Amino acid sequence: MTDMVLNVQMNFPCEEHKSNVIASCLHYYIRMRMRHYEREQNRYQKKKKAINKKTVH
């Protein structure tokens, strides 16, 4: 995000539009990263449960 803000020339008609666009970008980026993190954690938990089932039985 920092690279985009610093290196990409974005022209907006007013500061309110600029703030809204940047806020939306940050919102979507954080949601995407949280979904990725959650998916990785779920994969880890599934593997852990499978290993526990094998060792118990």
What tens digit of pLDDT does each residue of 34-43 get? 999 999 999 9
Its domain, for residue 1, covers: 1-55
Separation of alpha carbons 24 and 26, rounded Å: 5
How many angstroms separate the CA atoms of 30 and 39, rounded? 14
- Position 1 scores a pLDDT of 65
What's the predicted TM-score (pTM) here?
Answer: 0.61
The total number of structural domains in the chain stands at: 1
Phi, psi of 21 (to 5 degrees): -65, -45
Tell me: the pLDDT tens digits for 5-48? 677 777 878 888 888 888 898 899 999 999 999 999 999 998 88
CA distances from 14 to 5, 6, 20, 21 (A): 16, 18, 10, 11
Q: Residue 57 above 80 pLDDT?
A: no
Measure the CA–CA gap between 12 and 31, rounded to whole angstroms: 25
